[in-house]
Amino acid sequence: TTPTLAEPRNEDDSRMYREWLRVCDEDHRHADYYIAILPARVIVTNRRAMGRYITLTHRWQTDTPRTTQANLDDRRQGIKLNDLPQKFQDSVRATRQLGVRFLWIDSLCIVQDDAGDWAAEPGRMAEVYASAYCTISLSPAEKARGNFEEDVEKGDLSRRGWILQERVLSRRILHFTGDETYWECGSAIRSKSAGEIVRPGDRAGAPEPSRLLRGAPEVGFAMFRDLFVRYSRLELTERSDRPVAISGLEYRLEDLHRTRSLYGIVRRYLGESLLWQRSQDKWMEPLFDFRDKVSFWCIKGQRVPSWSWMAYTGEIGYISIPTDGLRWKTDTKFWVTGEKDL
């Protein structure tokens, strides 16, 4: 079922969405965690509205419009609304209804064939979603059930690899799924038809936005472990995106834990990081030819090491070691002696 956004003249729905945002702005402490930083490129939806921006999270299709170096100048001159797919048109209208001026859509606001644009993108992606006023999520459902767990948590969009970091980094999200609309933030989950339906604390391990980013560093590697295991189960259209589709979230967790994390290996928890294993009785296929320097993703000047699980396909788990009387050496020192060692 295609997600349905409020019709331009449906003022009741628009008023309800604005009220959800107002309550979150005024009553929820997490709403102003980050100072808004406008991305390098945005879509102007309303020249009279305030200077905040909204992000869109969606599933890419083969016909999803993309900005390239060839059409970048034309894009800067303007984009006709009718030339965009329906989900993008609806997102523009929803942004206007919320009284927000700017909209950020990844396929349009990142130059897809510009290696320089993509090279700087992992860290920038984290800031784009974390600083957005709100995120709009278009979650098509094969059969809308009017249930947050089924429509969102188990929905098609939540099975996509890129979506995990977009959801976790977002401060609050408007989910449009079938005929239902859900609001999700760190303090409440609401639906258009049922009002407040559940608080994240009422469900064990509820993965509401920013939960991972609000966790205490004292929990140690468990936060990274749960994230990496969950991410390894998700789908990617381009399998080679595996090392980068979560890198923005790794950037944020680095700040929280005051360490360095790259390709699923956390410096502060190096020993635990290396205890990954395949979780199924299936061979994990390499994603790269380790002898080919060109085929690798390169983040922070480092290529994917062969001993990282992100260099392979498949779901992972971690070896459990009894911790009675065992303490990890947290100040592990390691270094790379030369490019050939990568």
Residue partners of 52: CB distance under 8 A and separation at least 6: 36, 100, 101, 102, 132, 133
Q: Looking at per-residue confidence, does 210 or 192 come out higher?
A: 192
Residue 194 has pLDDT above 80, yes or no: no
Return the half-sphere exposure (C-beta side, CA atoms, 13 A cut-off) of residue 286. Answer: 11
Least confident window among 72-81, 300-309, 318-327:
318-327
Alpha carbons 250 and 126: distance in angstroms, whole number: 9
**Whether residue 1 has pLDDT greater than 50:** no
Q: In this model, does residue 158 exceed pLDDT 60?
A: yes
Residue 83 dihedral angles phi and psi, to the nearest 5°: -85, -10
Place of tokens 């699980």: 309
Instruction: Return d(Cα 85, Cα 196) in angstroms, integer.
Output: 32
* Average pLDDT score, the chain: 78
Is 69's pLDDT higher than 80? yes
How high is the pLDDT of residue 204? 36
- Which of 269, 187, 163 minimizes the C-alpha distance to 223? 269
Amino acid symbol at 339:
E
The pLDDT value recorded for residue 216 is 55
Token pair 């061979």 in the structure block, residue: 283
> Alpha-carbon dihedral of residues 284, 279, 163, 210, nearest 10 degrees?
-140
Q: Is the pLDDT of residue 36 over 70?
A: no
H-run or E-run covering 248: helix 247-257
pTM confidence score? 0.80
| Six-digit token string for 302 | 């480092």
d(CA 270, CA 221): 9
pLDDT band at 125 (very low <50, low <70, confident <90, very high): confident
213-265 residue pLDDT tens: 655 555 678 888 989 999 999 999 888 888 888 988 888 888 888 888 888 99
Unique residue bearing structure tokens 């905040």: 52
Amino acid letter, 216: A
Segments making up each domain of the chain, as ranges: 11-212, 215-332
The mean pLDDT value for 201-210 works out to: 44
